């Protein structure tokens, strides 16, 4: 059979007539009136009977000067090899929604208006996911940096009016002790002020943890110190499924996956951040454990494979079962 004849026998061939040329005039006009910009950046994944939804807040622009422990030529070469712009890297800022039993949990809250117009989109994506701020029962903070908790505030009050704030006691103690910041650079002082405002706004419903505690149904804290003293991930477990939200283990994936020894200027203790990163990369690659990163390109879920002296990310598949 010739291809032409074959096509004429396929019942679906009639669908060819559904191309845009066949649309009624009004439908075509409506398509052109679609708003500019992206559609909502919301993506759901099942972890056993728990649903995890990645919510984009936007992107933070990081330049090579922010990294510690890599020279410019190698930085540029690695970015070019990854088809990324060596001048500025849009590092994703992701928050995650966890629906576990009756609990509606946010892991981090984005930046609100604290870090510019390319960020602060978590609320519109949360709304697109069908969740109102008042529905959220718990806000699990990975740490108290502004790209994670500035979005927990709205007009100085709590953005999530009914949520309990859960954070590591180490991070709470560190950021709320003014003595840690006397003489610190202005940016760090502003980070501390924001952290104090967040803790203040939720002071009547604040829970802290130390070590690997269960903080919600199927969700346990995993201390990952270095980026901040109390920086923590959250392990989600249901049946045979698991996902580790590893927070700020990696900020510039095209560099730090291959070179986990490269730190970033935002690390409170860069040396400890490097050893924590090396340990967790070793663990998740050996255990074939899926991770979700606050700063891994949206939706931020991936597996980690060993490659040469370092590692590489293997992005998660779209969850067709949902």
Comparison of 147 and 164: residue with beta carbon closer to Zn ion: 147
Between CA 296 and CA 157 the distance in angstroms is 29
Between CA 215 and CA 218 the distance in angstroms is 8
Pattern 141-170, Zn ion, x by CB under 5 A? ------x-----------------------
Q: Tell me how far, at minimum, the Cβ of 20 lies from Zn ion, in Å.
A: 42
Comparison of 249 and 313: residue with beta carbon closer to Zn ion: 249
CB-based burial of residue 182 (10 Å sphere; 0-12 exposed, 13-18 middle, 19+ buried)?
exposed
Under the criterion CB under 5 A, does residue 267 sit at the interface with Zn ion? no
Q: Tell me how far, at minimum, the Cβ of 151 lies from Zn ion, in Å.
A: 12
Between CA 122 and CA 114 the distance in angstroms is 13
Q: Tell me how far, at minimum, the Cβ of 30 lies from Zn ion, in Å.
A: 40
Strand 241-247 and strand 290-293: the pairing is parallel
Comparison of 53 and 142: residue with beta carbon closer to Zn ion: 142
Between CA 205 and CA 199 the distance in angstroms is 9
Q: How far out from the chain centre does Cα 4 lie?
A: 49
Under the criterion CB under 5 A, does residue 248 sit at the interface with Zn ion? yes
Under the criterion CB under 5 A, does residue 57 sit at the interface with Zn ion? no
Comparison of 150 and 158: residue with beta carbon closer to Zn ion: 150
Residue 64 falls in which region: left (phi positive, over 0), alpha (psi -120 to 50) or beta? alpha
Q: Look up residue 230 and give its two tokens.
A: 């109390």
Q: Tell me how far, at minimum, the Cβ of 266 lies from Zn ion, in Å.
A: 7
Q: Number of residues in contact with Zn ion, rule: CB under 5 A? A: 2
Positions touching Zn ion (CB under 5 A) are 147, 248
């Amino acid at each position: 059979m010739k291809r032409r004849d074959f096509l004429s026998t396929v019942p679906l061939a009639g669908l060819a007539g559904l191309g845009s040329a066949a649309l009624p005039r009004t439908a075509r006009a409506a398509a052109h009136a679609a708003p500019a910009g992206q559609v909502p950046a919301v993506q759901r994944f099942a972890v056993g009977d728990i649903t995890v939804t990645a919510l984009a807040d936007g992107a933070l622009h990081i330049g090579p000067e922010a990294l510690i422990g890599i020279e410019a030529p190698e930085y540029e070469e690695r970015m070019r090899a990854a088809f990324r712009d060596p001048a500025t890297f849009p590092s994703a800022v992701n928050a995650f929604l966890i629906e576990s039993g009756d609990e509606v949990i946010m892991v981090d809250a984005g930046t609100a208006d604290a870090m510019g117009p390319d960020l602060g989109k978590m609320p519109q994506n949360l709304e697109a996911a069908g969740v109102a701020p008042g529905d959220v029962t718990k806000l699990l903070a990975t740490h108290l940096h502004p790209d994670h908790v500035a979005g927990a505030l709205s007009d100085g009050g709590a953005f999530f009016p009914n949520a309990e704030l859960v954070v590591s006691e180490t991070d709470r103690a560190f950021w709320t002790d003014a003595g840690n910041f006397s003489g610190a650079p202005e940016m760090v002082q502003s980070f501390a002020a924001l952290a104090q405002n967040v803790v203040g706004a939720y002071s009547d419903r604040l829970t802290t943890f130390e070590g690997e505690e269960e903080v919600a149904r199927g969700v346990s804290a995993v201390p990952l110190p270095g980026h901040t003293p109390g920086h923590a991930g959250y392990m989600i477990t249901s049946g045979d499924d698991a996902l580790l939200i590893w927070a700020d283990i990696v900020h510039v994936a095209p560099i730090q996956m291959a070179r986990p020894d490269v730190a970033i200027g935002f690390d409170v203790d860069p040396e400890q951040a490097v050893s924590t990163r090396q340990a967790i990369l070793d663990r998740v690659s050996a255990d074939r454990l899926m991770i979700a990163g606050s700063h891994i390109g949206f939706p931020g879920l991936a597996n980690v494979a060993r490659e040469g002296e370092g590692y590489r990310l293997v992005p998660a598949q779209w969850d067709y079962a949902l």
